[in-house]
Structure 1
Amino acid sequence: MNASTKKIAVVTGAGSGIGRTVALALAGAGWSLALAGRRPGPLAETAEAAGAGAGAGAGAEVLCLPTDVSDPVAVDALYAAVAERYGRLDLLFNNAGTFGPGGVALEDITYEAWKQAVDVNLTGAFLCAQGAFRLMKAQDPQGGRIINNGSISAHVPRPNSIAYTATKHAMTGLTKSLSLDGRPYRIACGQIDIGNAATEMTERMQTGILQADGRLAVEPVMDAGDVAATVLHMAELPLGANVQFATVMATAMPYIGRG
């Protein structure tokens, strides 16, 4: 992209894992970025890598915005900063999330742990999508794209993962509603469901994780860059086309036939 056609993306959960990898892929393709996440230090590291590693030219333009996505005031401030700096928004990669009380038996999950997962994974995703929707609807030219990070768990659960699984199933409903409600305003919404990308969150896959039959088993993982390539493809489609749902997973992981 040249300067006159540069597009603007918000990436949440951009300080690590999938968020950082996607941010770097977008930067390399010439996008300008607003990076959102709880921790300023990791956001700055992502921004430095994006600026240094972007494609032709002087590097990506990057704005770091420490944000608690579960706080509506913080999310409003995020989009106000994006509007002030860039004047528009072309993409939200709605990625921030937590696994929550994973590995805890259902009867032992505290209300606080349940609520934290819902606040981040569902309410946070809604608030970020709502803010993006408002900006995309109001801007001229109108429109943009929202890509929600679902999960393999949006389809099938792991043992002892009720909070994460419930919120990721809810993400699918959020995606469908956003896709429908965005039609009149050229706002496209799709979802990427990821299985066992190699990040900090999936390190335990390589040491053994509980299976539905009670065994502990090591599971295959894939390079997070393969996820980023898929997000980039979805992001750069014209608004007249949309990948509604995409599943990207380690080929040999126990998904087909899980349970």
Structure 2
Amino acid sequence: MTGAGSGIGRSVAVTLADAGWSVAAAGRRAGALAETAALSTGTILCIPTDVTSPTDVNTLFATVCEHFERVDLLFNNAGASGPRGLSFEDIPYDEWRAVVDVNLTGAFLCAQSAFRAMRTQSPRGGRIINNGSVSAHTPRPRSAPYTATKHAITGLTKSLSLDGREYGIACGQIDIGNASTELTRGMRTGVPQANGEVAVEPLMAVADVARTVLHMAELPLEANVQFVTVMATAMPYIGRG
């Protein structure tokens, strides 16, 4: 799984390992990955990886296949939020590109490598779970790079679901809203709303996300959670909040 050094990725990695999965934890920071591995008594193999690098991604999956012999699950979790608070016309190209490279190109590269392994291994097949976002459906103000990539992840999920059928590869997407991590700390004090106001938003425990991913992962390949939204119950997402 990618983005395993903190937040949602860390919680999911530990939950899967504690449930008996052999987990390959990928992320840019070796120290953070080691901290994740120390939280579980299960099997977590730490593989420093930049998901925007085709070479790194190829090495990641080669290492996984060498150690674990097969790939049964990819949780495509690594992501970047990009510039915050900038008007659309002020978003620098480099920052746009950085978000696209991580959120979309990185997800594509990892899914492609997983697909290749799952297609050729014996028994054939596996599952890919993409981390979307509630922003894949409803954007926040001034979030064009992040929102655009999360909409694109939905297209990637649907394409993988179709292309993987004949090889026993299932693909689903989890859209997460307001999980309590370092990235959402600001929601406790207030974040911009669509009407221009700033409001505190409720959060949910990141462990609730991890349990949902575990449920998706442990289904037989004949069944699939295509799309699921897990969110803080009272967050301003449904209707007008």
TM bucket normalised to smaller: over 0.9
Structure 2: 5+ residue stretches without partners? none
Correspondence for 2:179: 197
**In the TM superposition, what is the alpha-carbon distance from 1:258 to its structure 2 partner?**
4.7
Does 1:152 pair with 2:134? yes
Tell me which of 195, 198, 209 is aligned to 1:227. 209
Correspondence for 1:207: 189
What does 1:144-183 correspond to in 2, within 5 Å? 144-183=126-165
CA distance in 2, matches of 1:178, 1:102: 31
**In the TM superposition, what is the alpha-carbon distance from 1:102 to its structure 2 partner?**
2.1
Correspondence for 2:89: 107
Correspondence for 2:70: 88
**What SS does the aligned partner of 1:246 have?**
strand
Correspondence for 2:39: 49
Does 1:140 pair with 2:122? yes
CA distance in 2, matches of 1:102, 1:135: 37
Amino acid at match of 2:48: P
Does 1:25 pair with 2:15? yes
CA distance in 2, matches of 1:253, 1:61: 35
Contact 1:212/1:258, CA 8 A, preserved across alignment: no
- TM value normalised by structure 1: 0.92
Correspondence for 1:74: 56
What's the Cα RMSD here? Answer: 0.9
Correspondence for 1:34: 24
CA distance in 1, matches of 2:184, 2:235: 12
Amino acid at match of 1:33: V
CA distance in 2, matches of 1:113, 1:62: 32
**In the TM superposition, what is the alpha-carbon distance from 1:63 to its structure 2 partner?**
1.0
**What SS does the aligned partner of 2:130 have?**
strand
Contact 1:156/1:258, CA 8 A, preserved across alignment: no
The sequence identity of aligned pairs, in percent, is 70
**What SS does the aligned partner of 1:42 have?**
helix
**In the TM superposition, what is the alpha-carbon distance from 1:248 to its structure 2 partner?**
0.3
Residue range with higher mean Cα deviation, 98-107 or 31-40 = 98-107
Residues 76 and 44 (structure 1), Cα distance of their counterparts in 2 relative to 1, 3 Å cut: same
**What SS does the aligned partner of 1:50 have?**
coil
- What is the number of residues matched between the two proteins? 241
CA distance in 1, matches of 2:130, 2:230: 13
Correspondence for 1:5: none
CA distance in 1, matches of 2:68, 2:52: 24
Correspondence for 1:245: 227
**What SS does the aligned partner of 1:31 have?**
coil
CA distance in 2, matches of 1:102, 1:38: 22
- TM value normalised by structure 2: 0.99
